Amino acid sequence: MPSQVFIVGTGGTIAGSAASSTDHVGYRAGAVGIDQLVAAVPALQGVPLAFEQLAQLDSKDMDFGTWARLARRVQALLNDPAVQGVVITHGTDTLEETAYLLHRVLKPAKPVVFTAAMRPATALSADGPQNLLDAVSVARTPGVQGVLMVFGGAVHRADRVRKVHSYQVQAFASPDGGPVALVESGSLRQLAPWPAGDGLGAERLPLEGAAWPRVELLWNAAGVDGAQVPLLMELARREGRRLGLVVAGTGNGTLANPLEAALREAQEQGVAVLRSTRCAAGPVIGGELPSAGALSAPQARVELLLQLLMK
Ligand code: ASP
């Protein structure tokens, strides 16, 4: 029976350090090592654990090369018969993107559990230690599988979770369907089936950032004219990179006429286009330009990056 939980540290506020214990915003993310984060949770003593520092980033600076290294490392850990589950500590800012990426490239028969914090490790009432303990509890629960995100006592699917608040502690939700489980004093109450993952292949993600396509995010808003679309096409042409455009439309993915016309023209010339929504919840249904379903706009960008990479 595999019994070890492997924790991979990548940085974020959970590893943040501030000069004062009451400072929740003026801190440096990615400053405290994963060894110290584990040591700060007395309840983890005696739990069969291993950990490593894969990166030490503020997740606003997450990059393609780190994504590729993380995906490959997690795949290797999943292949290790001694590992029962993997926990990944990550900054909250781009967590929904990294989690969605792993959901698409892995097909884990074991739990891969992201966790994070809104308050730095040095805060008077830090949320990281409880979230880390809950994530390890989920990773140790028999039968759990798929890429998940544990935060504030809720377990979210990687393809549904969104950051919904800029600084409050309850900063994550799954607006389209709700959490998949709750962590109740270390025990799991499952509410919906575990996600399967798509298994596109971690090894297909290039380690070199420059080898990734250029996928840009555009917004529909009053008065937009789509003028940036041909400029981006020219930029990608000069760089010799494939281009994808994700547009966060208004409401059900609607677009102002000039922006829609520019995107249709781009699509005709071979640019991949995906339509998401500016709304905080709900899918994009119908319409002619391809829909990103219920993905958030940043997750739709990950989706288009993968579609172009896997072509
Ligand atoms: N800027 C931080 C990060 O995403 C925010 C956080 O972790 O809450 O790394």
CB 307 within 8 A of CB 242: no
Distance 297 CA to ligand 1 centre (A): 19
Distance 138 CA to ligand 1 centre (A): 22
Judged against a pLDDT cut of 80, whether residue 1 lies above it is answered with no
Q: What is the pTM of this model?
A: 0.97
* pLDDT for position 240: 96
Can you tell me which atom of ligand 1 is nearest the CA of 14?
7
Dump pLDDT digits (tens) for 67-96. Answer: 999 999 999 999 999 999 999 999 999 999
Measure the CA–CA gap between 87 and 108, rounded to whole angstroms: 13
Measure the CA–CA gap between 280 and 77, rounded to whole angstroms: 34
Can you tell me which atom of ligand 1 is nearest the CA of 58?
9
Per the listing, tokens 């979230």 go with 131
Would you place residue 27 in the very low, low, confident or very high pLDDT band (cuts 50, 70, 90)?
confident
Conformation bin of residue 11: beta by default, left when phi > 0, alpha when psi is -120 to 50 = left
What Rg, from alpha-carbon coordinates, does the chain have?
20
Dump pLDDT digits (tens) for 98-122. Answer: 999 999 999 999 999 999 999 999 9
Determine the residue of 14, 37, 60 to mutate for testing ligand 1's pocket, defined as the one with the most ligand atoms within 8 A of the Cβ atom.
60
Would you place residue 176 in the very low, low, confident or very high pLDDT band (cuts 50, 70, 90)?
confident
Which residue's alpha carbon is nearest to atom 3 within ligand 1?
Answer: 91
Strands (E), 116-195: 146-151, 154-157, 162-163, 172-173, 181-184, 187-190
Ligand 1 binding residues, C-beta < 6 A: 11-13, 29, 58-60, 91-93, 116, 118
Cα angle value 229/262/224 (rounded, 5°): 75
Which residue's alpha carbon is nearest to atom 7 within ligand 1?
Answer: 91
Dump pLDDT digits (tens) for 247-294. Answer: 999 999 999 999 999 999 999 999 999 999 999 999 999 999 999 999
* pLDDT for position 115: 98
Distance 92 CA to ligand 1 centre (A): 5
Distance 1 CA to ligand 1 centre (A): 35
Question: Strands 214-219 and 83-89, how do they pair?
Answer: unpaired
Which of the pair, 20 or 302, is modelled with greater confidence?
302
How far apart, in Å, are the Cα atoms of 72 and each of 102, 202, 249?
10, 5, 33
Which residue's alpha carbon is nearest to atom 1 within ligand 1?
Answer: 58
Measure the CA–CA gap between 90 and 138, rounded to whole angstroms: 16
Catalytic residues: 13
Mean model confidence pLDDT for the chain: 96
